[in-house]
Amino acid sequence: MDELKNKVNEGLALPVMEAFYTIQGEGTHVGTAAYFIRLGGCDVGCVWCDVKESWDAGKWPILAIEEIVKGALEYPGRMVVITGGEPLMYPLGPLTKLLKAQGFRVHLETSGAHPFSGEFDWVCFSPKKFKKPHPSIYEKADELKVVVYHNSDFEFAETHAKNVADTCKKILQPEWGKQDQFLGKIIDYVKSHPIWKISLQTHKFMDIP
């Protein structure tokens, strides 16, 4: 058991809630086939989280990174998205290195709540009000994606936009359950603040994971 724990601490084995091949449904790379690796474990606690079952890492099998990569190699797409849970709870250097050595383009989806690690081709930073991001995320973010659930989320989005690079894509996305309430407001906001773009969770419209 201790040996397994050490491997997780070193990023050589990780708790995997699920891994599946699908279409990236949101953000800059929407529409692209991708293998998603959802790591178990999250201490952020978003009230509207749609994967609450991911929070307890202890519920999920711990897989060696070689085994995780083997799963990705079974499909023709060469884009991998590491998501969670909160993937930065673990050191991601070894897994991302191995994926890249196998020719994958490696993306991350994170709340940024833990220190940054890993080698990525694309980092989607989606800050949450429930746990402050670690400062290391700001210079790494290629995409700032703010989920709009409340009127105050526009101001929250602007606060984070000040800290990312100018080249970082800035995206507002209505929380799925609040789409009727916020889509119109987001459309108006983007029209008057054109540094932002709208993203919708198209995988939910397509009824795919």
Beta-bridged to residue 79, according to DSSP, are: 105
Q: Does 199 contact ligand SF4 by CB under 6 A?
A: no
Q: Does 143 contact ligand SF4 by CB under 6 A?
A: no
Q: Which of 14, 19, 26, 54 binds ligand SF4 (CB under 6 A)?
A: 54
How far apart CA 79 and CA 95 sit, in angstroms, is 14
Encoded one letter per residue, x for contact with ligand SF4 by CB under 6 A and - for no contact, window 24-43 reads ------------------x-
Q: Does 85 contact ligand SF4 by CB under 6 A?
A: yes
Q: Does 13 contact ligand SF4 by CB under 6 A?
A: no
Question: Which residues fall within 8 angstroms of residue 3, CB to CB, at 6 or more apart?
Answer: none
Nearer to ligand SF4, 135 or 184 (CB): 135
Q: Which helix (H) or strand (E) holds 82?
A: strand 79-83
Nearer to ligand SF4, 26 or 86 (CB): 86
Is 116 exposed, middle or buried (CB count within 10 Å of its CB: 0-12, 13-18, 19+)? Answer: buried
Binding to ligand SF4 (CB under 6 A) within 146-175 occurs at none
Q: Which helix (H) or strand (E) holds 36?
A: strand 33-39
Question: Which residues fall within 8 angstroms of residue 189, CB to CB, at 6 or more apart?
Answer: 154, 172, 196
Nearer to ligand SF4, 184 or 201 (CB): 201
Nearer to ligand SF4, 75 or 130 (CB): 130
Between CA 96 and CA 35, with CA 13 as vertex, the angle to 5 degrees is 50
Positive or negative: CA dihedral 9, 13, 18, 24: positive
Bind-site residues for S-adenosyl-L-methionine: 48-50, 85, 126-128
Bind-site residues: 23-25, 38, 42, 46, 48-50, 83, 85, 126-128, 209
Binding-site ranges for ligand SF4 (CB under 6 A)? 42, 44-46, 49, 51, 54, 84-86, 111, 128
Bind-site residues for [4Fe-4S] cluster: 42, 46, 49
